A and B are shown apart, each in its own frame.
Chain A
């Protein structure tokens, strides 16, 4: 069974950093384009970034709201994807999901809270 599992969320102060992980089972992430989507408490869904597949060099793209602060990376040996979040702001507080849009795979999400 295909599964995506996010981890790494937690409470962080404004200006701090956090790294989220997305571990896959039942699928090979290196073959797939993968995305990150977030949802602030009580709000809608926001696409924040994409990593192309290995054949396309894992080239990333980012939403304007996180460009220059967030970095997506991969580790083929761990069949995983990461979201490095820097210079965090209170408005980054959200549940973060890793997603494979074409296949409809979503993780369960991990909560990031940015607060002093």
Chain B
């Protein structure tokens, strides 16, 4: 089974800061990786699909990169509405697996 590690588990940043989250897979998952944003009491929302593609309607300050085992999620300029928990998901092989999440809050 593919295991996903994600770091950091939490971070505090100021509005306008660049925020970077990493996800690592225990084996090659090519680019079958999504990033989700989840706000309290809400269902997760797809932000990046296939590692680097921006979901329709998502602001361009969000981006993703990577392939194989190492992936990066970036918010180029943090906004207050970006405060949330972010998860990666590998869907290359079953059982699919989420990373443990990164909680982003304001400093």
Are A and B physically bound partners?
A: yes
Enumerate chain A interface residues (CB-CB to B < 8 A). Answer: 35, 37, 44-47, 50, 61-64, 97, 101-102, 104, 106-109
Q: Judging by beta carbons under 8 Å apart, are A108 and B43 in contact?
A: yes
**B86-107 interface bits toward A, Cβ cutoff 8 Å, 1 = contact, 0 = none:** 0101010011111111000000
CA distance A45 to B99 in the complex (A): 8
A112 to chain B, nearest CB (A): 15
Interface residues on B, range: 20 to 34
Residues of B within 8 A of A (CB): 34, 36, 38, 43-46, 49, 55, 87, 89, 91, 94-101
Q: Looking across the interface, which residue of chain A has its beta carbon closest to that of B55?
A: A104
**Which of A50, A104, A107, A108 has the largest count of B CB atoms less than 10 A from its CB?**
A104
How near does chain B come to A17, taking the closest CB pair, in angstroms?
23
Question: Are the C-beta atoms of B94 and A45 separated by less than 8 Å?
Answer: no
Contact B98 A45 (CB under 8 A): yes
Q: Closest chain A residue to B98 by CB distance?
A: A45
CB <8 Å contact, A44 and B87: yes
In the complex, A62 Cα to B98 Cα: how many Å?
15
User: Are the C-beta atoms of A101 and B89 separated by less than 8 Å?
Assistant: yes
Q: Is the CB of B43 within 8 A of A50?
A: no
Cα distance, A71 to B91, chains bound together (Å): 21
